Amino acid sequence: MEKTKVAFFDFASCEGCQLQVINLEEDLLQVVGAVDVVSFREAMKGHANDYHVAFVEGSITRRSDEARLKDIRTHAKVLVALGSCATLGGINCLKNFQEQDYVRKFVYGNKASQYETYPARPLRAVVPVDLQIPGCPINRKEFAMVVKALLMGKRPEIPNYPVCVECKMAENICVFDKDMTCMGPVTRAGCGACCITEGSFCWGCRGFVDDPNVDSQREILAKHQLGVQDILRQFRLYTGFSEVAK
C-alpha cells in the first residue's frame, strides 16, 4: 500500500517546532515508518510537490509569503498548522503593535528598505487550515498523536478546556496564591501545565480555549494589581492577532 506523503514547510519562526518533530526519537521511527516524507528542509535534502499532508510552521509576515502558502495549499489535501506562530500568529504578532517602519529599521538598520514586512498573522488568515497543533513549541507526543489519527482517518482530539484543569491534576499550588499571575484560566490545555509544574506560570502559548472567559481573566489580573498595559501585554504575548488583545 502506498504510504501517505507528507511535507514540512516553514515561514517566520525559530524552527523550534520542526526540531520537536526531529526529536521525536522512538515515536519518530513509527511516524517515519508510516509516512513518506517528501520535503523537510530542516532534516533532509530534496523536495517534491507531490504530498497529501503539509505541516506548516511559522507565521505570515510578508505579502510575498501569501503566494507561497497558497501554492502549498493547492498541493495539500490536508494542511496542518504547527505551533503558536502558525496557529495564532504567536510572538511574531508583538511587532503588530509597533509602527512597521520602526520595526523594520530596528531589525535591519540601514538595509531596512531592502526588506519587506507587514503585520504578522496566522496561516488561517490567508488560507483554510484543516488542523492546528498548538504550543510554543508543539508537544512532541501531541504531534505523534495527530499523525496517527490522520493516518487512521480520524479527527485528532486537541483539548478544549483550560490549563487550570491539568494544573489541578498535577496538584500544583496555584501561582495566584504565590503573588504571580497566570494565563492558565483562558489557555487551551494539552501541555500538562508543564510551566507551572516547573515553577513558572502559564504564558498562554497554546492560545485561548474556545469561548474563553476573557472578562473574568481581566478582572482576576486587575485584582492582582496589574494595570491595563500589563494585562494587555499578557494577552498579546501569544494571542496578539486575536480580537480580545486589541
Q: What cell numbers appear for 233 in the block?
A: 501585554
Q: Is the peptide bond before 122 cis (omega within 30 degrees of 0)?
A: no
- Cβ 195 to ligand SF4 shortest distance, Å: 3
Considering the complex, state which of residue 90 and residue 119 has its C-beta at the smaller distance from ligand SF4: 90
Considering the complex, state which of residue 34 and residue 41 has its C-beta at the smaller distance from ligand SF4: 41
Considering the complex, state which of residue 51 and residue 143 has its C-beta at the smaller distance from ligand SF4: 143
Considering the complex, state which of residue 25 and residue 198 has its C-beta at the smaller distance from ligand SF4: 198
- Cβ 67 to ligand SF4 shortest distance, Å: 21
State the residue number with the nearest CB to ligand SF4: 184
Residue 103 backbone phi and psi in degrees, to 5: -60, -45
Q: 70 CB contacts (<8 Å, ≥6 apart)? A: 126, 127
C-alpha 213/C-alpha 199 separation (Å) is 25
C-alpha 16/C-alpha 237 separation (Å) is 17
The residues pairing with 12 across neighbouring beta strands, listed in sequence order, are 59
Question: For residue 231, what are the CA distances in angstroms to 89, 133, 224?
Answer: 19, 26, 10
Which residues of this chain interact with ligand SF4, rule CB under 6 A? 13-14, 16-17, 57, 83-85, 90-91, 136-137, 163-164, 167, 172, 174-176, 182, 184-185, 187, 191, 193-196, 201-206
Considering the complex, state which of residue 39 and residue 83 has its C-beta at the smaller distance from ligand SF4: 83
| 217 in Cβ contact with 71 (< 8 Å) | no
- Cβ 180 to ligand SF4 shortest distance, Å: 8
The residues pairing with 246 across neighbouring beta strands, listed in sequence order, are none
- Cβ 237 to ligand SF4 shortest distance, Å: 9
- Cβ 227 to ligand SF4 shortest distance, Å: 19
